[in-house]
Amino acid sequence: MKRFWLLFSQAVTVVLAGYFVVATLKPEWTHRAPPGLGGVVSVVQAPESASRAPAPGSLAAAARRAAPAVVSINTSKAAPRHPRSNDPWFRFFFGDQDDQPQMGLGSGVIVSPDGYILTNNHVVAGADEIEVTLNDSRQAQAKVIGTDPDTDLAVLKIELDRLPTVALGNSDSLQVGDQVLAIGNPFGVGQTVTSGIVSALGRNQLGINTFENFIQTDAAINPGNSGGALVDVNGNLEGINTAIYSRSGGSMGIGFAIPVSTAKQVLHDIVSEGKVTRGWIGVEPSDLSPELAETFGVKADQGVIITGVLQNGPAAQAGMRPGDVITGVGNAQVRNVQQLLTTVAALKPGVPARFAMRRGGNEVELDVTPGQRPSTPLRRLPERE
């Protein structure tokens, strides 16, 4: 029995010694990989061509086409100085006033290889310096070519080579429900693309601008997006993002863009003439209502009623009176105040135009020679992005 245990102990000693030598010199022989680790996994890889193809319904092509032409705009404005800021006694009692410049942020759209950029007037209004940053990181100082506070548009110009541009679309063909993309630089985080649909067309009477014909969209628009692009599924420019309605200061799904049809006309006038010239007749118009029709004794069911006429203005000189209902200007019918403002603004100052009206129960026509519309200050939004 003792002999058996001696042989057993010697065998165990030899096995343990061998294991120790193997574990020291070849540890991988003694370590077995746990299940699922270190083994070979069989997977199915999508073809390279399929992985590069856009998913069905993707708007990547539109974003890729339009995004290079959308720029970030940074503005600076010298801080207002107190008239006595250099007085030693003033500084002794009130300290040094903060003279840090006021910084602003917005977006813009390059619409011409010559360097013309469309943006909002409120983005660049009062700025001393305007710096434009392209999507490819190039930077340039911009010059203001002209502004139009009545539509809140401005035209800038930069001097750079090989500028990307966006194709101008036809905003008059947009329909409610069309998909659109909003491209800009919200909050300064960098170029951002959001998607949505056209929620409404022809929005007006919002108290934002003098001339309002907004495209409403639910594509997310936030502070910094002002002056950016609203594009269609083909990457064509349909509007310039300008404002939002918000209780929090951020996007709540109600954003407004100026149609490219308006922006194109403003761009042409500013570049060719240095300013936007609009017709003006000097009246106070109101949408026709049964109460106003009864008050003025008018027998009309459509048109714009004139509740006031400026003394010695173009309309007064032509014989227009309070209570007249304008139903047409030239060949264009007039159904509401916004249509009248837009139609009259398109008239050339100094060139007579035929106005169709109803006065009492009679139809009347007058030739009115419009003057040049006086400039008006930009009205501020409760929430302008």
Catalytic option among 148, 150, 152, 232: 152
Other CB atoms closer than 10 Å to residue 283's CB: what's the count?
A: 24
Total of domains in the chain: 2
Those residues of the chain that have pLDDT short of 50 are 92, 378-384
3-class DSSP state of 170: coil
Whether 85 is a known active-site residue: answer no
**Claim to verify: residue 358 and residue 289 sit in the same structural domain:** yes
108 in a domain, yes or no?
Answer: no
31: annotated active-site residue: no
Environment class of residue 331 by beta-carbon count within 10 Å: exposed (0-12), middle (13-18) or buried (19+)?
exposed
Instruction: Judge if 177 and 222 occupy the same domain.
Output: yes
Question: Is 95 part of a structural domain of the chain?
Answer: no
Shared domain for 268 and 297, answered yes or no, is: no
Nearest to 354 by CA among 322, 318, 300: 318
- Please indicate, yes or no, if residue 325 is contained in any of the structural domains: yes
- pLDDT (tens digit, 9 = 90+) per residue, 361-372? 888 999 999 998
Can you give the CATH number for the domain in which 361 is found? 2.30.42.10
Instruction: For residues 265 and 323, state if they share a domain.
Output: no
CATH of residue 204's domain is 2.40.10.10
Query: 255 and 217 in one domain?
Result: yes
- pLDDT in the model for residue 382: 39
Asked whether residue 207 is assigned to any structural domain, the reply reads yes
Query: Is residue 341 packed enough to be buried (19+ CB in 10 Å), middle (13-18) or exposed (0-12)?
Result: buried
The answer as to whether 57 is a domain residue is no
- Is residue 122 among the annotated active site residues? yes
Question: Which residues make beta-bridge pairs with 241?
Answer: 257
Torsion, Cα 354 267 376 280, to 10 degrees, reads -10
Question: Which is nearest to 167 in space by CA: 231, 74, 240, 261?
Answer: 231
Q: Do residues 249 and 309 both lie within one domain?
A: no
Based on the fold, state whether residues 209 and 286 are members of the same structural domain. no
Q: Identify the active-site residue in 107, 122, 218, 251.
A: 122
Q: Where are the alpha helices (DSSP H) in 225-309?
A: 260-273, 290-296
Q: What is the DSSP string of 75-124?
A: EEEPPPPPTTTT-HHHHHHH-----PPEEEEEEEEE--TT-EEEEEHHHH
Q: What percent of the chain has pLDDT over 70?
A: 77
The dihedral of CA 276, 279, 284, 287: what is its sign? negative
166 to each of 54, 108, 109, 163, 266, how far by Cα in Å?
21, 11, 7, 10, 17
Catalytic pick among 72, 171, 226, 251? 226
Residue 68 · residue 145 · CB < 8 Å: no
Domain extent, residue 250, equals: 171-273
pLDDT tens digits, 240-287: 999 887 666 666 778 999 999 899 989 999 998 888 888 999 999 998
Clarify whether residues 244 and 337 are in a common domain. no
**Is 331 inside a domain boundary?**
yes
Is residue 35, in this structure, part of any structural domain at all?
Answer: no
